[in-house]
Amino acid sequence: MKSGDPGMAVRKLRVEYGIKLDCTMMNAGPEEIVFFILVRLPADILYNSAQYVCWQWYSIIHNPYFIYEHLRRSTTSGLFIQYDMNPCTPCFAELGKTNATVTKVSFPFQIEALATCDGLVLFRDRQNMDDLEFRDRRKRTIRVANPLIKKVATVPPLTVQGYHYYYFSLACTRSRREYKVVFAYGSNLRFEDFDCMVVTLGKDHAWKLINNSTKFPSSCPKLFCYRPLSKGGFLYWAHFDLPFVVTLDVESEMFYEFPSTTAFCEGGYTAVNYLIRGKSLSCMVQLLGSPGIMFWDIWDLCDPMRGEWKKVYRIEWDFKKTEVKASV
């Protein structure tokens, strides 16, 4: 469908998606009302049909504030899954309340998807396939793609070598809505040296080293050999064996360190797991109760910069009754 054929766009919206439009809405609709309607449509409808209806709709859909509001309202959650064998075909599992819908991603990620954020995918390009050992790491080509609109941008080449472990992350800053790629790496196997480099997509032409002046505990460096969790413009390094969390504010490029939950610090737990739940970092602490009973306390991180945790509920599992209860 071409952008100059609004009639076809209108018919597509009506036939395929059941969205009926009248002339008033198309040509003279108040912008606030049109915005209110469009921001509730799925991204594929906006890109494939709605943006071609008229110039007003196109302008609204491409407005940065509209894009931010559409992302904020999005309730779609799921998993980007990629098999590690050729042809490395990825798929997306959209998670519902009681089921999951799996769809094939019609975009080639030939080597490895490194990170995702807001529907964008950071990946290694296929031109590296002939050099799977990446002996000259400066020749690695990293790209970021939007599979929906089939657009790809190239990340500036790395200039560092000699690292033993590394992770890439992709995150969006909270206020400027800029996307940044973070490269965390260690220069030796004893985890004594850790560095972070960052590049802002569409803005920076080279990577820059984050000035890490934060003094972390002596046991902290081993945290960084694990892949960080990413949410809301923050990266989190956490481990079940350490009573603290390290976070990177991607916007300010500053590190913070704060204690884990009080349940973790008080002891008496049998297992601790960190995960992203909704829009925040969560900590699930497993506790043993009386014989045959087990508890899980679920904590949410309220403030990533001050390290404030809030216990949201407790799950109780009675082995004898095979019964699970949840309480606030």
Check residue 133 and give its pLDDT: 45
- Which of 139, 154, 169 is a domain's end point? 154
Report whether pLDDT(4) > 50. Answer: no
Q: Both 231 and 247 in a single domain?
A: yes
Q: Is 131 among the domain residues?
A: yes
Q: Across the chain, what does the average pLDDT equal?
A: 75
* Average pLDDT rounded to a whole number, residues 84-112: 66
* Average pLDDT rounded to a whole number, residues 32-37: 83
**pLDDT, tens digit, 9 for 90 and up, residues 207-261:** 998 866 555 555 566 777 788 888 888 999 988 878 888 889 999 998 888 888 8
Check residue 3 and give its pLDDT: 46
Strand partners, 254: 249
Strand partners, 112: 124
Q: Both 69 and 137 in a single domain?
A: no
Percent of the chain beyond pLDDT 90? 9
**pLDDT, tens digit, 9 for 90 and up, residues 141-161:** 888 888 877 788 889 988 777
Q: Both 227 and 266 in a single domain?
A: no
Rounded CA-CA distance 64/236 in Å is 27
Q: Both 164 and 234 in a single domain?
A: yes
Q: Both 90 and 34 in a single domain?
A: no
Check residue 35 and give its pLDDT: 85
* Average pLDDT rounded to a whole number, residues 114-136: 68
Check residue 25 and give its pLDDT: 52
- Which of 135, 154, 173 is a domain's end point? 154
Q: Both 181 and 238 in a single domain?
A: yes
Query: Domain span at residue 30?
Result: 6-73
- Which of 259, 283, 313 is a domain's end point? 259
Q: Both 251 and 192 in a single domain?
A: yes
* Average pLDDT rounded to a whole number, residues 120-138: 61
More confident residue, 199 or 11: 199
Report whether pLDDT(268) > 90. Answer: no
* Average pLDDT rounded to a whole number, residues 9-36: 61
Asked whether 1 and 48 are in contact (CB, 8 A), the reply is yes
More confident residue, 290 or 110: 290
Among residues 207, 80, 87, which one has the least CA distance to residue 145? 80
Rounded CA-CA distance 237/245 in Å is 6
Check residue 30 and give its pLDDT: 74
Q: How many domains does the chain have?
A: 4
Q: How far is CA 205 from CA 95, 153, 156, 157, in A?
A: 37, 12, 6, 9
Check residue 199 and give its pLDDT: 94
Check residue 142 and give its pLDDT: 87
Check residue 297 and give its pLDDT: 86
Q: Is 279 among the domain residues?
A: yes
Q: Is 1 among the domain residues?
A: no
